[in-house]
Amino acid sequence: MDFYFLVICIFIIALLYSAVGQGGGSGYVAVMALFALPAAEIRPTALILNIVVSGIAVYQFYRAGSFSWRVFLPVTLLSLPFAFVGGLLTIPSAIYGVVAGTALLVSAYFLYRKPAGSREEVRPIPLSMSFVAGSSIGLVSGATGVGGGIFLSPLLLLKNWADARHVPGISAGFILVNSISALSGYFTSVRSLPEYVWILVVVALLGGLIGSYFGSHRAGSSVIIKLLAGILFIAGVRLIIDAIL
């Protein structure tokens, strides 16, 4: 019965996150943590679901004109090797709980306080800042499975480095390539996956198709964003508490 609830939750997370240009990694980690799945199963499962949902989102948002190569390339260039290193790391369950829990709490904050974008002219990203942002977010996404888009999106809007219309597509693309890189790193040291992962892939695929279609044609609801932030906060606290106790 718990597994059926997990399947339903994964579908909802994929649908809601893809509607706002996210792969859902932080949501998958949060939900799997709430269902008390082993840490060793959470990260690879979240990365695979990220790839599926963000791939769909990239296609939908790119078709709708919500993408910018000028912004995407510099922030992604250095993130890929760091995401690979993050995926390569073998993290003890207790440490993973603290690191992933903290990442979820930070994600919840960024999601809750996500800026709407300003009316100022978009500024080019300084090359040094794009490397710092890309490498740090890539490492965290690879080590935890959260994807990284949930950190990148508010940063782009806050610094006015991208137009609000282009951010969802850029974020989805960032999640896609970094999740592939992180999963490649993971598979160099660990070659096993949970048996149930492919059922979750099908469910996430359906949710991602529906969510990204509607999200690419209309703005994401602020109510949805606040709800997701609440889920991340609860799961982040639980992961940290479970890891400490």
Average pLDDT value for residue range 67-83: 91
pLDDT at position 50, please? 93
Q: pLDDT, tens digit, for every residue of 164-204?
A: 788 888 988 999 999 999 999 988 877 678 888 999 999 99
Range of 115-119, 216-220, 225-229, 239-243 with top mean pLDDT? 239-243
| pTM for the predicted model, two decimal places | 0.84
d(CA 76, CA 93): 29
2 Cβ contact list (under 8 Å, min separation 6): 35
In the Cβ-directed half-sphere of 105, how many Cα atoms lie within 13 Å? 12
Average pLDDT value for residue range 34-52: 89
Asked whether residue 223 carries a pLDDT value surpassing 70, the answer given is: no
d(CA 217, CA 170): 16
Which band of pLDDT confidence, cut at 50, 70 and 90, is reported for residue 218?
low
pLDDT at position 114, please? 63
Alpha-carbon distances, residue 223 vs 27, 220, 244 (angstroms): 16, 9, 32
pLDDT at position 99, please? 85
185 Cβ contact list (under 8 Å, min separation 6): 83, 84, 85, 86, 87, 88, 89, 142
pLDDT at position 65, please? 85
Q: pLDDT, tens digit, for every residue of 113-126?
A: 766 555 567 888 88
Q: Say which residue the tokens 């940063």 belong to.
A: 155
> Which range (13-17, 35-39, 213-217, 222-226) has the least confidence?
222-226
Closest residue by Cα to residue 212 from 38, 50, 65, 18? 18
pLDDT at position 38, please? 87
d(CA 195, CA 205): 17
Average pLDDT value for residue range 83-96: 86
pLDDT at position 222, please? 64
